[in-house]
Amino acid sequence: MSYDLIVIGAGPAGYVAAERAGAHGKKVLLVEREEHLGGVCLNWGCVPTKALLACAKTYYNASHGAAYGVSADNVRFDLAVAMARKQKVQDGLRQGIRGLMKKFKVEVVLGTAKLVAKDTVEVGGARHQAKAILVCTGSRPAKPPIPGLDLPHVKDSSAILSLTALPKRLVVIGGGVIGVEFACFFASVGVAVEVVELMPEITPGIDTECARILREELAAKGVKFHLGHKVTKVTAEAVHHVDAAGVETATASDTVLVCIGRTPNTDGLGLETVGVDVKNRLVQVDERCRTNVPGIWAAGDCASRIMLAHVGSRMAEVAVRDICGESDRMRWSAIPGVIYTSPEVAGAGLTEEAAKAQGIPVRVAKWNLAANGRFLAEFGGKGLVKAVLHEKTGVLLGVHGVGGGVSEQVAAWSAMIEAEFRLRELTELVFPHPTVSEALRDAAWTIAH
């Protein structure tokens, strides 16, 4: 069969590409090797973890509700019910994607695709040709060469979603985004959690003050952190790790979660056969998501160092516009990021540390959420919002925050950064009161005089 576009992989890059191209009137084939569309995001990542985190938050708030006048008597957490709710959320969204593919007349084939020529994809022995091919094959959990990771009680971020009983003692290897989200989930429902992180602070790349506050708040929920510790081996009883001085600690655990990054799925696809440039397993693309081979584009985790669902979707849209002869390009300066812990962390644009590392002179405006009415009334705990502005021009370069409610603000922060708002303009905006969002305006005023 012949198509305008063949999309390989039906995650948030692939299915969005298929939808956009279908809406444009293109004849599209979408190939997926798993049973369900939606990719890691919908099946083992963003969606199921957020559904579970919502259950954990509800349980935690109910069992710590005394100060809100809520009795904590008889509050208990039922993992099976939480898993069933997660499944229901996933099923609804899976159906939604199927519906979209139908609406836009996208043909869906389940099977493993392989490029056999620049314009030809093979799936289950059948060959399909297209004017354009878009590779959206995603990523999988990285498996470091640490002895013991094949033991049955060691899980990756996908396998841990199939637990049928809560662990008693969980050790999380890697205090990155996945590690802290799962640490938050399990600690909130009463599991003893310890996180072993190689770097001196959790969530490298996140504003360090926000990361510290997140760590302190998770510690208050009972999570124990081993910072600057490298895992050397895992046995049936314990996770062994050493600090910078070489002192070894053995932390007992019945379940281990490994989340030390993700590996792009670019092997076995035939990319090298057709001459696509792949470096360190990552497909190399330009700002329009074109590979070096005319007719082949790539989007999402297989072609981006920032492995986020929304980045994949945006890359896919850029690629489809390029395929359709329209102009668009990826802009990387204000990509929003969220960590869905309690408290949440969100940020867009440059952090203070990144600006300094790039030699960009900045002013930083901060607002402590302990002085925000809505935050105090609804969330409490520690929280902070900080804006990073160019020292000379006052242009907004980044906004970062930690605390209840920040995840729903980060899209606005991104828009302000993209629109190159200046300090003066931040002070001229009207924010709704009382909302946590006012913290940005309050922060701006601290340096606007």
- The residue (of 22 and 48) whose beta carbon lies closer to ligand NAI is 48
- The residue (of 228 and 381) whose beta carbon lies closer to ligand NAI is 228
> Under a CB-based contact definition with an 8 Å cutoff, are residues 256 and 171 in contact?
yes
Is 433 a residue of the active site?
Answer: yes
Token pair for 4: 């305008």
> Under a CB-based contact definition with an 8 Å cutoff, are residues 49 and 160 in contact?
no
- Closest approach, Cβ 239 to ligand NAI, in A, equals 9
Q: Which of 114, 95, 91, 112 is nearest to 103 (CA)?
A: 95
- The residue (of 16 and 196) whose beta carbon lies closer to ligand NAI is 196
Report which residue's Cβ sits closest to ligand NAI: 176
d(CA 47, CA 54): 11
- Closest approach, Cβ 201 to ligand NAI, in A, equals 9
- Closest approach, Cβ 307 to ligand NAI, in A, equals 4
Write out the residues near ligand NAI by the rule CB under 6 A. 144, 173-179, 181, 196-199, 204, 230-231, 259-262, 307-308, 337-340
- Closest approach, Cβ 86 to ligand NAI, in A, equals 15
Strands (E) across 22-119 are located at: 28-32, 107-110, 113-117
- Closest approach, Cβ 328 to ligand NAI, in A, equals 23
- The residue (of 64 and 230) whose beta carbon lies closer to ligand NAI is 230
- Closest approach, Cβ 258 to ligand NAI, in A, equals 8
d(CA 340, CA 185): 10
- Nearest-10 Cα torsion for 90, 96, 100, 106: 50
- The residue (of 14 and 337) whose beta carbon lies closer to ligand NAI is 337
Query: Which residues on adjacent β-strands are paired with residue 400?
Result: 347, 386
Contacts of 125 (CB under 8 A, 6+ apart): none
> Under a CB-based contact definition with an 8 Å cutoff, are residues 43 and 19 in contact?
no
Contacts of 72 (CB under 8 A, 6+ apart): 62, 63, 64, 65, 66
> Under a CB-based contact definition with an 8 Å cutoff, are residues 376 and 347 in contact?
no
The catalytically annotated residue of 240, 390, 400, 433 is 433
Residue 141 half-sphere exposure toward CB, CA atoms < 13 A = 23
- The residue (of 181 and 207) whose beta carbon lies closer to ligand NAI is 181
What's at 38, amino acid-wise? G
d(CA 315, CA 29): 18
Tell me the catalytic residues: 433
